[in-house]
C-alpha cells in the first residue's frame, strides 16, 4: 500500500507537506501541490485514501457546534451564513456535516461527547468562544481535532482558531462616531462570557479613553444576540436621564430590534440617535435606514474554519494556527454628524 511517506520520498518533501497538499492548505505553493499530486496519481495513492480512511475509521464527517439550540441560534443570520461558508468547503471535499441542537452547556457537552465517543465525526468546529467552556476542555483533553471560530480564552497558541480583529474593529467604528462629533456613545453587546463581546467592547472602550471621553457604565448593556435583546437594551437606554446620541451595537439582528424600538418610541435614526452595527448580515442593507456596519466576512470565517479543521483531521501534527479574516466597514445611512 502506498503511504504518505512514499509520496514524500518520491517528491522530496516532508510527509506533513504531503498531508497539507491533501488538505489543500493555501500555504503550500501551487508548484509543490502540482508536483505532489502528480506523484500521488502516479503512485496510485488516490485509491488508498479510502482504504486509509477505512483503517483509520475516518467518517469524513465534521461536527458543527452552535452556542445555543438550533432553534434559537438559527434566528440570527450569522449562523446560516457561517454554515454556508462551512458547507462550501464540506461540499468540495465531500464531507458531511452534523449540526448541534443542544440548548444548555451541559446538553451541548453531552452531544459533543456522543460525537467523539461514538466516532461519528473526524473533528469539530466550535462556532463560539466562551469563558470556561467545558466543551473546549473536553476536546483538548481528548486531543480530538477541533477548530474554533472566535478567540480561545486561554491556550491561544495551542488552539487553531479563525477570528476577526474585533478589538481594532470595535475601536475603529467607535472612532468613526467620535469623528462625527458624538460624545455620548452607548454600547450594546452580547453576553460578557463571549469573547466576541469582550473584544468589541474593549475596542469601544479604548476609543473613548483615547478621545478623553468619560466612561459611563449605564451606557454599556449586555443582552442576547437576538432582536428581543436589542429591544430590551434600547428601552433601558431611553429611560436614562441623559440619552446617548450614538450606539455601537455588536450584532445586526440586535440592531433590528434597536431600530424598531427607536422607531416606535418616536426616535429617528440617524437624526436623533446614530447607530453602527457589526457583521453585515444581509438584513443590514434592507433596514431603513440601511446600517453602517462592520463586515466581518462571515462566509469566509466558516470556509477558513472548515479548511483548517479538515487539514487537522488529515494530519494531527499540523501546528496550531491563528487565522485572522480581515474586516471592513460598510458605510451606509445610520450615522449623522453631531
Contact footprint for a copy of itself (CB under 8 A): 61, 69-71, 74-75, 77, 79-81, 83-88, 90-91, 95-103, 107, 111, 114-115, 120, 256, 283, 286-288
Residue closer to a copy of itself by CB (options 66, 294) is 66
Residue closer to a copy of itself by CB (options 28, 70) is 70
Cβ-proximal residues to 9 (8 Å cutoff; 6+ apart), any chain: none
Residue closer to a copy of itself by CB (options 13, 89) is 89
First to last CA, the chain: 72
Classified as helix, coil or strand, 113 is: helix
Cβ-proximal residues to 306 (8 Å cutoff; 6+ apart), any chain: 62, 85, 86, 88, 89, 90, 125
Residue closer to a copy of itself by CB (options 146, 219) is 146
Cβ-proximal residues to 336 (8 Å cutoff; 6+ apart), any chain: 180, 270, 271, 274
Q: How far is the CB of 116 from a copy of itself (least distance, A)?
A: 13
Q: How far is the CB of 142 from a copy of itself (least distance, A)?
A: 18
Tell the burial category of 222 from Cβ atoms under 10 Å away from its Cβ (0-12, 13-18, 19+).
middle
Give me 321's grid cell. Answer: 494556527
Residue closer to a copy of itself by CB (options 81, 133) is 81
Q: How far is the CB of 71 from a copy of itself (least distance, A)?
A: 4
Q: How far is the CB of 282 from a copy of itself (least distance, A)?
A: 8
Cβ-proximal residues to 289 (8 Å cutoff; 6+ apart), any chain: 269, 270, 332, 333, 334
Q: How far is the CB of 219 from a copy of itself (least distance, A)?
A: 27
Distance between CA 279 and CA 258 in Å, rounded? 15
Q: Is 184 left (phi over 0), alpha (psi -120 to 50) or beta?
A: beta
Residue closer to a copy of itself by CB (options 42, 91) is 91
Residue closer to a copy of itself by CB (options 8, 256) is 256
Q: How far is the CB of 263 from a copy of itself (least distance, A)?
A: 11
- Residue 319 CB neighbour total at 10 angstroms: 9
Q: Would you tell me the crossing angle of helices 4-11 and 15-22 to the nearest 10 degrees?
A: 110
Residue closer to a copy of itself by CB (options 102, 150) is 102
Q: How far is the CB of 92 from a copy of itself (least distance, A)?
A: 9
Residue closer to a copy of itself by CB (options 84, 316) is 84
323 φ/ψ angles, rounded to the nearest 5 degrees: -115, 115
Q: How far is the CB of 103 from a copy of itself (least distance, A)?
A: 6
C-alpha distance from residue 15 to each of 9, 292, 314, 318 (Å): 8, 47, 12, 11
Classified as helix, coil or strand, 195 is: helix
Amino acid at each position: 500500500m502506498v503511504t504518505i511517506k512514499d509520496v514524500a520520498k518520491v517528491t522530496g518533501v516532508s510527509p506533513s507537506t504531503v498531508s497539507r497538499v491533501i488538505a489543500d492548505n493555501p500555504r503550500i505553493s501551487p508548484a509543490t501541490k502540482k508536483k505532489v499530486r502528480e506523484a500521488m496519481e502516479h503512485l496510485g495513492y488516490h485509491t488508498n485514501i479510502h482504504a486509509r480512511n477505512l483503517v483509520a475509521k475516518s467518517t469524513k464527517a465534521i461536527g458543527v457546534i452552535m452556542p445555543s439550540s438550533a432553534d434559537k441560534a438559527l434566528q440570527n443570520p450569522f449562523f446560516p451564513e457561517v454554515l454556508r461558508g462551512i458547507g462550501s468547503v464540506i461540499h468540495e471535499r465531500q464531507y458531511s456535516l452534523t449540526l448541534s441542537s443542544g440548548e444548555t452547556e451541559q446538553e451541548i457537552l453531552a452531544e459533543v461527547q456522543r460525537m467523539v465517543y461514538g466516532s461519528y465525526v473526524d473533528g469539530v468546529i466550535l462556532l463560539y468562544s466562551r469563558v470556561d467552556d467545558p466543551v473546549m476542555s473536553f476536546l483538548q483533553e481528548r486531543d480530538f481535532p477541533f477548530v474554533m471560530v472566535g478567540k480561545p480564552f486561554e491556550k491561544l497558541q495551542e488552539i487553531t482558531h479563525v477570528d476577526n480583529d474585533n478589538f481594532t474593529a470595535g475601536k475603529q467604528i467607535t472612532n468613526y462616531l467620535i469623528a462625527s462629533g458624538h460624545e455620548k456613545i452607548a454600547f450594546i453587546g452580547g453576553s460578557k462570557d463571549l469573547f466576541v463581546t469582550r473584544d468589541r467592547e474593549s475596542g469601544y472602550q479604548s476609543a473613548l479613553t483615547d478621545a478623553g471621553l468619560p466612561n459611563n457604565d449605564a451606557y454599556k448593556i449586555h443582552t442576547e444576540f437576538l432582536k428581543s435583546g436589542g429591544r430590551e437594551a434600547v428601552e433601558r437606554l431611553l429611560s436614562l436621564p441623559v440619552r446617548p446620541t450614538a450606539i455601537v451595537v455588536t450584532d445586526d439582528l440586535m440592531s433590528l430590534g434597536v431600530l424598531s424600538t427607536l422607531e416606535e418610541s418616536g426616535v429617528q435614526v440617524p437624526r436623533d440617535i446614530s447607530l453602527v452595527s457589526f457583521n453585515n448580515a444581509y438584513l443590514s442593507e434592507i433596514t431603513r435606514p440601511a446600517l453602517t456596519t462592520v463586515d466581518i466576512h462571515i462566509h469566509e470565517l466558516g470556509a477558513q474554519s472548515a479548511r483548517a479543521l479538515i487539514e487537522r483531521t488529515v494530519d494531527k501534527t499540523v501546528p496550531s494556527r491563528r487565522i485572522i479574516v480581515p474586516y471592513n466597514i460598510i458605510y451606509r445611512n445610520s450615522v449623522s454628524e453631531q
